A and B are shown apart, each in its own frame.
Chain A
């Protein structure tokens, strides 16, 4: 039982601007379930994608069943008996369940597809997993959780000896998780090696033998599950002290600007209640898929709401579409500024004018150039956007300055609440500081800032108050004085305990 079936030594992988993996070593034994843990961006998925041949490593060695493999690709990985269940669904929606399960290794008889045999075989695999799906159903017609089960069935049907499960339970129901764990235990006893990646730490107790922790692309530690505790695991996951410097301005908190009452929109936004006061920055923390982006989208009117009341400056506002939100003074700075926030091929002036053309144009729709000029100058000065002139393409600005343009165009309208969704993702440290300064500037002007971020240090460094989300709910509201990384992570992994629910149902 002590034989390593996977040995990775000193593996490194760079992506443009990021060191995703830095000299990481990794071992897996047969007959064990290894939990690979770490925060978002710690390098878990990258490591597993290297093992399964989706990415190629920059350096390091890889041994599978004792044999050194240098040129791994998805086909080779499959032949070697490595199967991966990806975090994001990878199904062909137009094909049936059986066709998806056998994709790339279809059974044939004299060159003709043996659909009958594949349907039967797929039926057997599904029944073996206690999954009640007709193998001839078109995958696109299944719910996400059923698709996830098909994905799992597909991986298992390859007779793989090494199974990688990247967040397999995030879309599953309690009964399905129960079934999956039964299967995992069975596979383990049959001598399979299983790598299990999950943010749901409370699940680990049911299946895991060993844990390995990554942080910022580096190997931190590994230990037997029974010798450790969730508290210890979390402290290793978080690990670092906050060393970065965050600019902070003090301002007296004023009156309530925004109040959200019982906002519901699908699975990812459930019973959201919070308020935002003049001159404060409220951080929204949580892990990927916690429902933060969905909450801002529902608030801004992008996605339909099932219920909920929104008050701005004490008056109720009805937000059905983004334009309603904008008119009531709530604006969104989207996560992907190049895609959703800016027209990168238009000038700064055009970008700032774009959402304000109703104000800038007369009744015939002709834009008043003088007014346009004025507001551009005003917002450039107001936010300290550094540029040669307002005619340059927005795409030519630095990340921080681009973000300022996105914000600037909204402030023309005297907006009351600015929502930032992951404003610092993928930009360098200097630009990050510019964005923190921008948020502080808004704060001191008495504008309410709602700040979604996956990076805990900046949430802790910038916010005055923190809302922690998990599984579509706000699990904790923390004042900045009482907030620590450990507490945030504890509440960010506070999922409904589906296992218990399952047993109760």
Chain B
């Protein structure tokens, strides 16, 4: 007489042993898949051009990947709540211009860094409040702040890129780009450090749990007493911090402020997140995947360049990879659902 015999069947499948448990962790399946993809890419590029594995290229490659990881972290936070942040690239540009302008005016570089972070955080708060309090769609709210931040980037130095930030900023430039610690460029350490902190927050704290809950079912989260406005705003603050850091890295790299720095980075960030298994529908994804996604992006850029492919070809290949990785996820999930329905139909 029992109508749900199939469920017991389901739970037997789910009975986890230690190894399977690692896989069954939210988003782990996709991470494993794309990691294999990353390894294949690395091997292929290594065969095409043995110099790919040279020390010089490896450390350059890692330094190229670092900014993608950073913006990927910010975008992943936002995507997991089911929103999107289009203002990332403009906040990168704004941070680059504000920090460089202040330094060319003779301000202490570290004070300039502080002011840069504060302005970026203001954009983050604005994004979060517009979306959670004023109920604007994230796409529209961040489209607005994207344009505003780019405007600020242009206005701070009267619509010119800045001059060189000068000798006084040598320490700043080394800290964010040129210096090395334990044989690795500092940029890489910064990205790793930020990743460790935000990965911890996302996976081990209440804030992180609430971020997943909001993305999974905002209504249920609200009824359970989760503060939606604060949770959503926090994700945009994380995104702003990551973007500002990338802006500072760019200032350090070129030694000047560039108004169009970071253009379309928000979309690279979506690509890195999505390749790594973060769902644009919210509720799903882990930051480990974002690292792998960013790495695939960087390896493709670097490897194709090494193999002599023109920019156009690189773009086409990367576009295809983004589509394939999401398609794969959809197929896997559809099969899982079919299996589930079948298991239930056996009643």
A137 to B224, CA, bound (A): 19
In the assembly, what is the distance between CA of A113 and CA of B216, in Å?
A: 19
Q: Are the C-beta atoms of B11 and A94 separated by less than 8 Å?
A: no
How many residue pairs, one in A and one in B, have C-beta atoms under 8 Å apart?
Answer: 105
Q: Say if the beta carbon of B3 comes within 8 Å of chain A.
A: yes
Interface string of A94-108 (1 = CB under 8 A from B): 110001100111101
A-side contacts of B7, CB under 8 Å: 142-143, 145-146
Q: Are B6 and A103 in contact (CB under 8 A)?
A: no
Q: Which residue of B lies closest to A139 (CB)?
A: B216
B221/A134 in contact, CB under 8 A = no
Instruction: Determine if B11 and A137 form an interchain contact, defined as CB atoms under 8 angstroms apart.
Output: yes
B209 CB–A CB distance under 8 Å? yes
- Cα A174 to Cα B2 in complex, Å, equals 7
Complex Cα spacing A132 to B12, Å: 12
A54 contacts which chain B residues (CB < 8 A)? 223
B159 within 8 A of A: no
Interface check B1, CB cutoff 8 A: yes
Alpha-carbon separation in the docked complex, A133 to B14 (Å):
10
Q: Which of chain B's residues have a CB closer than 8 A to the CB of A17? A: none
User: Measured between alpha carbons, how far is A95 from B210 in the docked complex, in Å?
Assistant: 10
The closest CB in chain B to the CB of A503 belongs to: B1
| Chain B residue contacts of A95, Cβ below 8 A | 209, 212-213, 216, 283
**A106 CA to B213 CA in the complex, in Å?**
12
B283: which A residues are within 8 A, CB to CB? 92-95
A90 touches B219 (CB 8 A): yes
Whether the Cβ atoms of A99 and B209 lie closer than 8 Å is: yes
Query: Which parts of A8-54 form the interface with B (CB within 8 Å)?
Result: 54
Asked if A136 is at the interface of the complex by the 8 Å CB criterion, the answer is yes
Chain A residues closer than 8 Å to B10, beta-carbon distance: 141-143
CB-CB under 8 A for A143 and B14, given A92-B283, A99-B209, A112-B204: no
- Structural contact, B209 and A90, CB atoms closer than 8 A: no
Across-interface contacts of A75 in B (CB, < 8 A) = 225
Q: Which residues of B contact A502 (CB under 8 A)?
A: 1
Q: How far is the CA of A111 from the CA of B209 in the complex (A)?
A: 12
A112 to B16, CA, bound (A): 24
Query: In the complex, how many angstroms separate the beta carbon of B287 from the nearest chain A beta carbon?
Result: 15
| Contact assessment for A74 and B225 in the assembled complex, using a CB-CB cutoff below 8 Å | yes
**Number of residues in A with C-beta < 8 Å to the partner?**
40
Given known pairs A104-B221, A143-B10, A505-B2, the reply for A111 and B226 (CB within 8 Å) is no
Contact A91–B205 (Cβ < 8 Å): no
Q: What chain A residues lie within 8 Å of B226 (beta carbons)?
A: 103-104
Given A94-B284, A103-B226, verify A133-B11 contact (CB < 8 Å): yes
| Contacting residues of chain B (262-281) with chain A, CB-CB under 8 angstroms | none
Would you give the shortest CB distance from B219 to chain A, in whole angstroms?
A: 6
Say whether A112 contacts B205, CB under 8 Å: yes
A90 and B14 in contact, given A95-B212, A173-B2, A505-B2 (Cβ under 8 angstroms): no
In B187-243, which residues have CB < 8 Å from any A CB? 204-206, 208-210, 212-213, 215-217, 219-226
Would you call the interface of chain B mostly helix, strand, loop, or mixed? helix
A92-B216, A113-B206 known; A78 and B225 CB under 8 Å? Answer: yes
Which of B206, B212, B223, B344 is within 8 Å of A143, CB to CB? Answer: B344
Does B167 reach chain A (CB closer than 8 Å)?
no
Q: Are A136 and B206 in contact (CB under 8 A)?
A: no
Task: Name the B residues within 8 Å of A185 (CB-CB).
Answer: none
B340 at the interface (CB under 8 A from A): yes
- Beyond A92-B221, A104-B224, whether A501 also contacts B1 by CB under 8 A is yes
When the two chains form the complex, which single residue of A94, A106, A141 contacts B340, counting CB atoms closer than 8 Å? A141
Is A267 positioned at the interface, with any CB of B under 8 Å from its CB? yes
The answer to whether the Cβ of B170 comes within 8 Å of any Cβ in the partner chain is no
B220 near A90 (CB under 8 angstroms)? Answer: yes
Q: CA A137 – CA B217 in complex, angstroms? A: 17
Nearest CB on B from A135, distance (A): 12
Q: Does A338 contact B (CB under 8 A)?
A: no
* Neighbouring A residues of B284 by C-beta, 8 Å: 94
Residues of A within 8 A of B2 (CB): 173-175, 505
Q: Are B219 and A94 in contact (CB under 8 A)?
A: no
Residues of A within 8 A of B340 (CB): 141
Q: Are A504 and B1 in contact (CB under 8 A)?
A: yes
Beyond A93-B283, A133-B11, A141-B14, 6 extra complex contacts between A and B, CB < 8 Å: A74-B222, A90-B223, A91-B217, A95-B216, A103-B209, A145-B4
Which residues of chain B have a CB within 8 Å of any CB of chain A? 1-4, 6-7, 10-11, 14-16, 21, 24, 26, 204-206, 208-210, 212-213, 215-217, 219-226, 283-284, 340, 344
Q: List 30 A-B contacts (CB under 8 A).
A: A74-B222, A86-B223, A90-B217, A90-B219, A92-B213, A92-B216, A92-B220, A94-B212, A95-B213, A95-B283, A99-B213, A104-B210, A104-B221, A104-B224, A105-B225, A106-B206, A113-B204, A113-B208, A132-B11, A134-B15, A136-B16, A137-B14, A141-B10, A143-B344, A173-B3, A173-B4, A175-B2, A501-B1, A502-B1, A505-B2
